[in-house]
């Protein structure tokens, strides 16, 4: 969990904050996410996702989603400075420029361009309470 403002360099290298590196493990998966961001999964979570995807019916929507989601996926490891190297297709997909935001979302991280993250939060902050009410019918802190 958390929100971390980071910079990506001209070679596509991004420092992942030390506070969250440990939870990812030595190697992890980076892929296209939803809503114009990238997803980072620990290997064990990724394996669970792939197992569930294997249960999807062999229909066009499932095949298309799998192609899109899996074709961008690659295994990553941290370099000595705690950086990951994001491929140019993923940089393009997420619209990453110099300023990025890394957020923790349950069992994954998301990498957003600062502009897209700001737009997302501005568009959704007024409906946050309503979203919570719709998703959780019981008490929520």
Sheet holding 2-7, edge to edge: 2-7, 99-105, 108-113, 38-42, 27-32, 74-77
Per-residue pLDDT tens over the stretch 24-82: 888 999 999 999 999 999 999 999 988 888 888 889 988 888 888 888 899 999 999 98
In order of their start, the domains of the chain are 2-135 (3.40.1550.20)
DSSP bridge pairs for 111: 38, 102
DSSP 8-state secondary structure symbol assigned to residue 107: T
Per-residue pLDDT tens over the stretch 3-34: 999 999 999 999 988 888 888 888 999 999 99
Residues 6+ away with beta carbon under 8 Å from 140: 132
Per-residue pLDDT tens over the stretch 82-101: 899 999 999 999 999 999 99
DSSP 8-state secondary structure symbol assigned to residue 127: G
Residue 8: Cβ within 10 Å count: 22
Cα 124-30-117 angle, rounded to 5 deg: 20
Q: How far apart are CA 19 and CA 45, in angstroms?
A: 19
Strand, helix or coil for residue 33: coil
| Whole-number pLDDT of residue 136 | 72
């Amino acid at each position: 969990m958390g929100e971390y403002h980071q910079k990506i360099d001209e070679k596509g290298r991004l420092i992942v904050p030390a506070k969250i590196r440990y939870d990812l493990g030595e190697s992890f998966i980076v892929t296209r996410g939803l809503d114009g961001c990238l997803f980072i999964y620990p290997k064990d979570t990724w394996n669970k996702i792939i197992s569930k995807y294997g249960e999807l019916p062999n229909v066009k929507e499932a095949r298309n989603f799998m192609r899109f989601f899996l074709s961008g996926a690659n295994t990553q490891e941290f370099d000595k400075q705690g950086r990951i190297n994001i491929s140019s297709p993923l940089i393009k997909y997420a619209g990453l420029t110099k300023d990025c935001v890394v957020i923790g979302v349950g069992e994954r991280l998301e990498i957003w361009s600062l502009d897209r993250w700001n737009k997302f939060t501005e568009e959704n902050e007024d409906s946050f309470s309503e979203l919570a009410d719709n998703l959780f019918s019981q008490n929520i802190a």
